[in-house]
């Protein structure tokens, strides 16, 4: 027997071009009823949800910007963004990217597809691009629909930022758009994980669920008291880092780190999926996922990526602790209070005052005096002091703070009643929500503690 | 000469780990020929068909398809179409949409790609706008064939194309394949149904445990001189049994694997001995109402060859 194999590619026909393969994959994706339903749901449901919630007497005040849904239509898309980052986007990427390869296993169409396209590489690219397109369509639907619902139902009023400063409608629109664009990065990371799961786990439902499970695990990690460097090294941080866009100045450091980390995950997971896919033996009828190779070729590199990014973030930013320190909490609370005090002043039709004139400061302690005032917890107690022009006495207000490990806090006013002790204020136009009673704020985890 | 050869394979070997799926396979298929590929389950048929379709590359050996050598790179040459392990269809698309998507994939205008024509050829015009989700196995097979026809292949590779076909569907498929061969397209098909092979193929290759145990015309295979089991239905079964026992070269088979019927006698014999028995029966005044092989000569040859190969492992 002559044991020779002829020169490569002598007779291979030209494979189908990527644009044609992409179109083919799109046709297949949008022909599925569940994808059509998802597209419809993403373009319609958020508008209805935001419009309905905005007209209710009770607002989702435990959700970031939820307490402002009566005040401006720009709060609606941000409430939806918070929900999307937690639930919708992981599930959407699961259904689309987590199934894009596995469905061919389920239908038994791999050989047909290979004969038709003639290039596993191009099949991978076409499938990845098609699933990316559908995911972008779904994200765009969530963003546009919730914005339309909010603006139509409530109106185009200024938005109160996360540090209490007012954003003009045009600024709010730009920042809302930017926030949605920023969460594309972690969405891409989940999509990459979805592709990897879909390639490695074959028909197993675990492939479909992988992005949602990974997102859930990362959310649980974000709820744990982890060091800031670890928190920022997880792509899920970018789902909350957009908060920093709504402070003045914007907290761009964590946001940019979150985006870069997410894109690294997206690229790494996609490359791993690609390598595993092009090495697959399509003539093996018993193939049902890469099995053990999934662990060595999929999980270990991503675990390595986490280790490297934790090291790089810790080294370059010096963030080793929780990032929630007494000075930063005090500064953040005082800033938000000053901005919101101005808002309350306007509501009550009092003489205008500036933040500089107020000279607001805060003094915070956490728990008992024996415990260091740092880290997350709901036992932060603060006293805010301020001055009014021409008034000798120093104003004082007490707040209880619940600071979550990601740096977000909710300040709950504890008096005096005229300032922050009651949820309504009596304005010339009638009772209105008291902006100083409860408000949200944000501690930048990477900022230097001494400012 | 080679220009008339659709497939020329020499010493093709393919292993999956420690398992040798193909072990030095030679195969020749000439242009316009319908060539059957037969073998027991696990013999390597699907692997060989996969090589022809460019789904895998041989570990060693030389393979030429449509006159050009095939290398290690995946992907078949232009002009090759077909399916292995069942046709690949997308259930959420209609029959027409499945074909249109394929035509568009090839860069062809779906209006002029001949979709209606191929649907008509395989008898699926009436269900062209039904989703493939509701198709029976036979309809799926026919749609798979239509998809292959859409590319106007010069070599058609089909794995069990008659699976699940009703008589009408079978007639359509046989008609299509015969017409294609008449027009110069070569067809390689695997099947477990000897009647299909007899009806369609001019040559067959029998594979067992990754090796070719026979390759040539069907007539040559059927004419191989071997004993067969025959089923006899006579007017006097007892007399027939006595005569059979007394006839040289005849063995009575009491465990023929057929449904027990006291009226039926099963004997194993070469054709000359069987002729003698028939003469004896007639002389003894026993009417012969039915005489037929229990399995067709082709199937018997197949079983004998593959069992020999299995025994020789």
Between chain A and chain B, how many beta carbons pairs sit less than 8 Å apart? 156
Determine, for residues A111 and B72 on separate chains, whether the beta-carbon distance falls below 8 Å.
no
- Is residue A369 over pLDDT 70? no
> Tell me, what's the pLDDT at A9?
39
Cα separation, B279 vs A96, in Å, equals 74
pLDDT reported for residue A429: 81
Chain B CB contacts of A1 under 8 Å are 10-11, 13, 24, 60-61
Distance from CA of B222 to the nearest CA of A (A): 29
**Better-predicted residue by pLDDT, A322 or A21:** A21
Q: What is the pLDDT of residue B2?
A: 46
The span from the CA of A311 to the CA of A305, in Å, is 10
**A175 lies within 8 A of chain B by CB:** no
How does strand B228-234 pair with strand B68-69?
Answer: unpaired
Q: How far apart are CA A334 and CA A355, in angstroms?
A: 10
Q: What is the pLDDT of residues B130-180, one digit of tens each?
A: 999 999 999 999 999 999 999 889 999 999 888 888 888 888 899 999 999
**pLDDT at A157 exceeding the cut of 90:** yes
The CA distance from A75 to the nearest CA of chain B, in Å, is 39
Mutate to test the interface with B, among A3, A5, A117 (most CBs of B within 10 A): A5
pLDDT of A34 higher than 50: yes
CB contact under 8 A, B60 and A283: no
Q: A5 to chain B nearest CA, in Å?
A: 5
Phi, psi for B216 (deg, rounded to 5): 160, -170
Span A347-365, pLDDT tens digits: 888 888 999 999 999 999 9
- Give the pLDDT confidence score for residue B298 in this predicted structure: 75
Beta-carbon separation of B53 and A115 below 8 A = yes
Q: Do the Cβ atoms of B57 and A5 come within 8 Å?
A: yes
Confidence of residue A393 (pLDDT cuts 50, 70, 90): confident
Q: In sequence order, what E strands does chain B have?
A: 5-16, 19-30, 34-38, 60-65, 68-69, 80-83, 155-159, 186-190, 203-208, 211-217, 228-234, 251-252, 264-269, 288-293
- For A9-28, the pLDDT digits (tens) are 344 467 889 999 999 999 99
Cβ of A4 and B16 within 8 Å? no
What local confidence, expressed as pLDDT, does residue A419 receive?
84
Bridge partners, residue A446, by sequence = none
Mutant choice from B82, B101, B102 vs A, greatest count of A C-beta within 10 A: B101
CA-CA distance, A425 to A429, in Å (whole number)? Answer: 10
The answer to whether the bond into A416 is cis (omega within 30° of 0) is: yes
Q: What is the mean pLDDT of residues A29-44?
A: 95
B245: phi then psi, degrees, rounded to nearest 5: -65, -30
Q: Residue A366 and residue A330: Cα distance in Å, rounded? A: 11
Closest CA to A435 of A93, A101, A113, A72: A72
Confidence at residue B255, expressed as pLDDT on a 0 to 100 scale: 64
Query: Considering only A84-98, A290-304, A372-386, B299-313, which range has the smallest mean pLDDT?
Result: B299-313
Cβ distance A108 to B107 less than 8 Å, yes or no, reads no
Whether A432 and A347 have beta carbons less than 8 Å apart is answered as yes
pLDDT band at A424; cut points 50, 70, 90: confident
Nearest to A23 among B24, B71, B104 (CB): B104
Which residues from chain A sit within 8 angstroms of residue B103, using beta carbons? none
Average pLDDT (A340-353) is: 90
Contact B101 A28 (CB under 8 A): yes
Say if the Cβ atoms of B71 and A7 lie within 8 Å: yes
Per-residue pLDDT of chain B in tens (313 residues, 90 and over written 9): 444 789 999 999 998 888 899 999 999 999 999 999 988 888 889 889 989 988 888 899 999 998 888 876 666 678 899 988 888 899 999 999 999 999 998 888 877 778 999 999 999 999 999 999 999 999 999 999 999 999 889 999 999 888 888 888 888 899 999 999 999 999 999 988 888 888 899 899 999 889 998 899 887 876 666 788 889 999 999 999 999 999 999 999 876 555 557 788 999 988 889 999 999 999 999 999 999 888 877 777 777 777 766 665 5
Q: Quick check: B11 contacting A, CB < 8 Å? A: yes
Return the pLDDT at B1.
44
What DSSP string describes B195-223? HHHHHH-SEEEEEETTEEEEEEEHHHHHT
What domains are there in chain B, each with its CATH number? 2-222 (3.40.50.300), 228-311 (3.30.70)
Model confidence over A166-177: pLDDT tens digits? 999 999 999 999
Mean pLDDT of A312-317: 90
pLDDT at A69 over 60: yes
The answer to whether A6 faces chain B, any CB pair under 8 Å, is yes
pLDDT for the residue A3: 38
pLDDT beyond 90 at A335: yes
CA-closest candidate to residue A31, choices A42, A43, A23:
A23
A191: pLDDT strictly greater than 90 = yes
What is the pLDDT, as a whole number, of residue A35?
95
Cα gap B286→B288, rounded to integer Å? 6
At B310 the pLDDT is: 63
Query: What pLDDT score does A7 carry?
Result: 36
Rounded mean pLDDT, A381-385: 94
| Per-residue confidence (pLDDT) for residue A292, from 0 to 100 | 65
User: Residue A118: its pLDDT value, please?
Assistant: 84
Q: Which of A26, A107, A111 to mutate to test the interface with B (most CBs of B within 10 A)?
A: A111
Contact of A237 with A231, CB cutoff 8 Å: yes
């Amino acid at each position: 027997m002559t044991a020779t194999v002829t020169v490569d590619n002598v007779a291979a026909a030209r494979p189908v071009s990527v644009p044609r393969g992409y179109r083919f994959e799109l046709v297949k994706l949008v022909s599925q009823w569940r994808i059509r339903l998802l597209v419809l749901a993403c373009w319609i449901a958020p508008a209805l949800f935001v419009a309905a919630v905005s007209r209710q007497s009770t607002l989702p005040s435990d959700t970031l910007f939820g307490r402002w849904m009566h005040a401006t239509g720009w709060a609606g898309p941000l409430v939806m963004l918070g929900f999307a980052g937690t639930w919708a986007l992981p599930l959407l990427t699961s259904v689309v990217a987590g199934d894009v390869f596995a469905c061919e296993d389920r239908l038994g169409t791999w050989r047909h597809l290979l004969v038709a396209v003639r290039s596993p590489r191009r099949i991978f690219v076409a499938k990845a691009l098609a699933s990316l397109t559908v995911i972008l369509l779904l994200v765009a639907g969530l963003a546009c629909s919730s914005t339309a619902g909010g603006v139509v139902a409530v109106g185009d009023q200024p938005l109160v930022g996360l540090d209490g400063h007012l954003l003009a409608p045009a600024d709010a629109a730009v920042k809302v758009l930017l926030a949605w664009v920023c969460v594309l990065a972690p969405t891409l990371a989940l999509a990459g994980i979805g592709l990897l799961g879909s390639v490695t786990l074959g028909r197993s439902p675990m492939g479909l669920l992988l992005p949602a499970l990974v997102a859930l695990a990362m959310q649980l990690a974000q709820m744990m008291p982890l060091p800031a460097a670890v928190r920022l090294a997880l792509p899920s941080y970018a789902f909350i880092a957009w908060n920093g866009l709504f402070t003045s100045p914007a907290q761009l450091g964590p946001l940019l780190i979150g985006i870069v980390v997410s894109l690294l995950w997206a690229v790494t997971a996609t490359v791993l999926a690609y390598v595993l896919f092009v090495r697959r033996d399509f003539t093996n009828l018993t193939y049902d996922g890469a099995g053990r190779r999934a662990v060595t070729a999929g999980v270990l590199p991503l675990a390595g990526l986490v280790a490297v990014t934790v090291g790089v973030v810790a080294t370059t930013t010096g963030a080793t602790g929780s990032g929630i320190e007494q000075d930063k909490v005090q500064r953040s609370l005082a800033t938000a209070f000053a901005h919101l005090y101005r808002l309350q002043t306007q509501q009550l039709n009092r003489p205008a005052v500036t933040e500089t004139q107020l000279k607001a400061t805060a003094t915070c302690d956490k728990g008992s005096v024996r415990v260091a005032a740092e880290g997350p917890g709901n036992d932060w107690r603060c006293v805010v002091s301020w001055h009014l022009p021409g008034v000798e006495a120093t104003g004082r207000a007490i707040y209880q703070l619940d600071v979550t490990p990601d740096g977000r806090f909710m300040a709950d006013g504890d008096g005096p009643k005229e300032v922050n002790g009651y949820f309504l204020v009596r304005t010339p136009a009638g009772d209105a929500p008291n902006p100083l009673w409860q408000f949200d704020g944000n501690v930048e985890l990477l900022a230097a503690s001494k400012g | 000469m080679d220009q008339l050869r659709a497939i020329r394979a020499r010493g093709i070997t393919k292993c999956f780990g420690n398992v040798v799926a193909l072990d030095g396979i030679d195969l020749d298929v000439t242009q316009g020929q319908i060539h059957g590929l037969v073998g027991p389950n696990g013999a390597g048929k699907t692997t060989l068909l996969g090589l022809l379709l460019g789904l895998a590359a041989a570990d060693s050996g030389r393979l030429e398809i449509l006159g050009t050598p095939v290398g290690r790179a995946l992907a078949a040459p232009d002009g090759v179409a077909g399916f292995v392990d069942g046709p690949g269809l997308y259930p959420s698309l209609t029959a027409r949409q499945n074909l249109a998507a394929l035509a568009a994939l090839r860069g062809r205008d779906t209006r002029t790609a001949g979709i209606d024509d191929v649907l008509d050829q395989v008898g699926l015009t009436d269900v062209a706008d039904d989703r493939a989700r509701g198709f029976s196995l036979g309809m799926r097979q026919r749609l798979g064939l239509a998809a292959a026809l859409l590319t106007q292949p010069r070599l058609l590779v089909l794995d069990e194309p008659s699976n699940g076909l009703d008589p009408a569907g079978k007639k359509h498929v046989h008609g299509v394949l015969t017409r294609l061969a008449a027009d110069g397209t070569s067809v390689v098909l695997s099947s477990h149904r000897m009647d299909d092979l007899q009806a369609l193929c001019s040559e067959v290759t029998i594979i067992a445990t990754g090796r070719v145990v026979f390759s040539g015309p069907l007539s040559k295979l059927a004419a191989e001189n071997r004993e067969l089991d025959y089923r006899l239905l006579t007017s006097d079964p007892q007399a027939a049994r006595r005569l059979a026992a007394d006839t040289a070269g005849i063995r009575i088979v009491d465990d023929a694997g057929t449904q027990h019927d006291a009226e039926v006698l099963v004997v194993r014999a070469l054709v000359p001995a069987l002729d003698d028995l028939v003469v004896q029966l007639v002389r003894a005044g026993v009417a012969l109402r039915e005489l037929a092989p229990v399995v067709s000569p082709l199937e018997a040859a197949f079983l004998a060859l593959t069992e020999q190969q299995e025994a020789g492992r």
